[in-house]
Amino acid sequence: MKKRSYEHTKIQRQGKERDQYTCQICGSNERSEGHHIFDYVYGGAADKENIVTLCHDCHNKVHKGLIDLLKF
């Protein structure tokens, strides 16, 4: 489990570096967070291609279903 969380952190960082720590929805670079487009539990890959960088606000909206990521 330890290895997995290390990989997770690494992949999150790679995804954010690719997106230059910029929210892919609104373009903000404050409080950038990595979001898994497809979660592990639903068969999503542990891969940076599965990470999108979002600011804290947009991230919350995605999780509340207010923003549909697949439209981006």
CB of 70 closer than 8 Å to CB of 39:
no
Question: 59: closest CA among 33, 20, 37?
Answer: 33
CA 49, CA 46: separation in Å to the nearest integer?
Answer: 8
Which region among 4-12, 13-21, 47-55, 64-72 touches Zn ion (by CB under 5 A)?
47-55
User: Closest distance between Zn ion and the C-beta of residue 3, in Å?
Assistant: 22
Note whether 25 binds Zn ion by CB under 5 A.
Answer: yes
Note whether 38 binds Zn ion by CB under 5 A.
Answer: no
Residues making contact with Zn ion (CB under 5 A): 23, 25-26, 28, 35, 55, 58
